[in-house]
Chains A and B, each alone.
Chain A
Amino acid sequence: MRKTPFSSRRGTKLLVALLTSFALIAAACGSDDDSSDDGAASAPATTAAPAAPAPADDDPDPSEDDDHDEDEMMESIRGSIDVTGSSTVEPVTNLLAEAFSEKHPDVAFSVAGPGSGDGHKAAAAGEVPIWNSSRQIKDSEATDINAAGIEFIELRVGIDGISVITAASNDSVDCLNFEDLYSLVGIEATGFESWADANSLNADLGGSGPFDDGALEIFAPGEESGTFDSFIEIALEDVWEHRVEEGHADENFAVRPDYNASANDNVIIDGIAGNQHSLGWVGFAFADENRDKVKLLEVDGGDGCVSPTPETIASAEFPIARFLYTYIDAAKASDPAIKAFVDFMLSDEGQTYVVEAGYVNLDPADLEQSRSNWANLTTGKTF
């Protein structure tokens, strides 16, 4: 043992001391978590009482009550909240976490957005109390999570709606279906410079064409954008995959590469407004704000043409929309920090951040369902 290969005994002692201190820190934090869980479990009534009615019943004067609650919580709430999952939902969680942290600076926060599937996997490994998903949890994922001894509470938090837009002055088109969209912006539309170029492909696909002619200028988000991915998944994927199976389309790219891509929604709106026969897509909230410049087209997802409005999106009648979900480990729901954060997320104030992140608020009935799932700690798929 005397021939220990470290350069000096002092170095060895230093290393041992460092390792020991890390082990002690880890142990101390572990016991912290345990004790806070125990404390919360033994006193669920006190934490539940002030917060549960806040979203629904305090309408007459919510601001005063909220302030009162915050002052109380500021001193009491400590703990740690980790959120992972969908990168689409991550901006909403970031905004919520930022506002929440200003009120409760003692709560440690970590928000990550690796993807919906990764979120469900992390949940099944027992790593996170809260995880987001831009689609409803799959049955197989729910089985995995339950098999790990974890029950989850399912909440809908908002809607990712996408508008198909053209210039406000364009009278030659009002409604497009998924086949039309693919024949205009899909991979097989590469090189089409006018609407008439798309007519033969459109006829092959059984679209609603022929289109009136006009120079086809396309403005849309670049491929780094979540809106780009969502549009492919919801509007183009079915038609595209069918065409790939038949051997007509490239299996790697769903969207034609020759369009004007921009990460800036303002650039897209200006491009659409400046070209009479333009076509493009942006998040609904942004298109809705610019109705004076752009025309929001109706979309036919198989059940007739539907115009995008907050109501048709919230009710899922408008076809290019998807619900955004947040899942919570039921065993962690009584943790004071997590309880306060989810209460805040479902409050009227919390729901404003859904819109600030560019998404659409839920239908009141859906929001009520989320709130009641949370209040009653209802586990499993409920939507």
Chain B
Amino acid sequence: MTILTTPAGIATGAADALRKRPGADVAGATFKWLLIGATVFATGFLAVLLAVMIVDGWDVLSGNLWYFLTHGFSQRSAGEAGVWQGIIGSLQVALVTGVFAVPTGVATAIYLVEYAQGNRFARIVELNIRNLAGVPSIVYGLLGLAVFAQTLRGFSGGTTAIAGGMTLAAMVLPIVVITSVEALKAVPDSLREAAYGVGATKWEVLSRQVLPAALSTILTGTVLALARALGEAAPLILVGAATGFMSFGDANMLETFTGPYTALPVLIFNFARQPGADWGVNAAAASVIILVLVLAVNGLAIYLRNRFERQW
């Protein structure tokens, strides 16, 4: 006799009951196999992609990976080219993106959910933000070139890592806002009401109860948004990321934010268009590296979520 205490136990019990009447749940069984098929297709596709990249890039990944990671772009031959500046540039751009997108996005979400809840202005803003999430990234590149690189030249220094990071911040801002809005909406109203009930001010309710409760989901959302930004090439190329040779010159670490920059996806784009098979090896190896980087970022998101998660 199955003990019907856990959801899984209830499901197993229900399945047992159904099994007594063969053919009773054809639709359910079909649906289950469709779901399994979709899962296999999705993961299989990823696995094939990953396998192809690792096989294609094996010469670099197995041979001179350290050289590849620690040297800059070289036109002389595929074997002399590395991705060092791309890794630095991607981290710089991601940092700038985070600095601009996360506070702005989370603040917007808090306003929409906690202050403007339900009013017409908030609904219009939220609808527009959701639509913005579907705008192609190249459009953000045009915006970044016109606004962050040209109009705000005095702040960003022109086509720099700051301009690139701000462009990607504008691109991922809707994602940050939407995930933060959902996170705040998921905090039960009973929590707010209980806090108000013992005499807390709105600020105390927000800072002591609601935000800590929503933090893990907000963090997951923002880190996933940063992972998306890490993989973008098209907007950065428009905002002047170097596709070819670049060097930082004698700039110190802070100055590199306002000097020339590049990013891993931009380097992959460049490797892929060079004639010759050995450049393709570089492109595949760099793709694996960016995948590892994005996996690391996603891993961080999962760690943060588990660290701060609260069960209701």
Contact = CB atoms under 8 A, between A and B. Distances in A.
A pairs with B:
yes
B173 interface: no
Chain A interface SS verdict (over half):
mixed
Contact of A25 (B258, B277, B279, B280): B258
Given A22-B162, A95-B76, A224-B273, A106 B157 contact: no
A30 B155 CA distance: 9
Chain B's interface size range is 35 or more
Nearest to A353: B75
Contacts of B257: 22, 25
Contacts of A107: 247, 249
A78 B249 contact: yes
A95 B74 CA distance: 8
Nearest to A267: B277
Given A78-B250, A112-B237, A224-B273, A98 B245 contact: yes
A80 interface: yes
B115 A357 contact: no
Interface string A26-49: 110110000000000000000000
Contacts of B238: 114
A265 interface: yes
Contacts of B211: 7
A111 B103 contact: no
A6 to B, nearest CB: 6
Contacts of A114: 237-238, 243
A249 B229 CA distance: 42
Given A95-B75, A101-B247, A23 B155 contact: yes
Contacts of B251: 108
Contacts of A207: none
Contacts of B237: 112, 114
A345 B156 CA distance: 30
A99 B237 CA distance: 24
Nearest to A357: B75
A380 interface: no
A108 B157 CA distance: 14
Contacts of A22: 155, 162, 257
Contacts of B115: 3, 5
Interface string B106-130: 1100110011000000000000000
Nearest to A96: B245
Interface stretch (A86-94, A152-160, A161-169, A177-185): A86-94
Contact of B275 (A78, A110, A224): A224
A108 B154 contact: no
B159 interface: yes
A94 B107 contact: no
Contact of B107 (A6, A18, A91, A105): A6
B240 interface: yes
Contacts of B73: 94
A109 B154 contact: no
B247 to A, nearest CB: 4
Given A3-B202, A26-B162, A84-B240, A110 B75 contact: no
Contacts of B276: 263-265
A98 B260 contact: no
Interface string A241-277: 0000000000000000000000111000000000000
A301 interface: no
A263 B103 contact: no
Contacts of A84: 240
A25 B99 CA distance: 15
B144 interface: no
A68 interface: no
B312 interface: no
A2 B201 CA distance: 11
Nearest to A98: B245
Interface string B18-35: 000000000000000000
A20 B78 CA distance: 41
B169 interface: no
Contacts of B155: 22-23, 26
A297 B207 CA distance: 78
Contact of B249 (A11, A87, A105, A125): A105
Contacts of A87: 243, 273
Given A11-B103, A90-B243, A98-B74, A109 B249 contact: yes
A135 B279 CA distance: 27
Interface in B119-169: 149-150, 154-159, 162
Contacts of A125: 150
Contacts of A5: 107, 110-111, 114-115, 206
Contacts of B244: 90-91, 93-94, 97, 111-113
A215 interface: no
Most buried by B among A27, A108, A127, A221: A108
Interface in B205-263: 206-207, 211, 237-238, 240-251, 254-255, 257-262
A127 B249 contact: no
Interface in B171-218: 202-203, 206-207, 211
A225 interface: yes
The 3 closest A-B pairs by CB, nearest first: A110-B260, A108-B249, A111-B244
Given A6-B107, A94-B73, 15 more contacts: A5-B107, A5-B111, A7-B206, A26-B154, A84-B240, A98-B74, A98-B75, A105-B249, A108-B246, A108-B247, A108-B260, A109-B246, A111-B245, A225-B275, A227-B275
11 contacts: A8-B207, A11-B103, A25-B257, A82-B260, A97-B247, A98-B75, A107-B247, A108-B249, A109-B247, A109-B249, A224-B275
Interface of B: 73-76, 99, 103, 106-107, 110-111, 114-115, 149-150, 154-159, 162, 202-203, 206-207, 211, 237-238, 240-251, 254-255, 257-262, 272-273, 275-277, 279-280
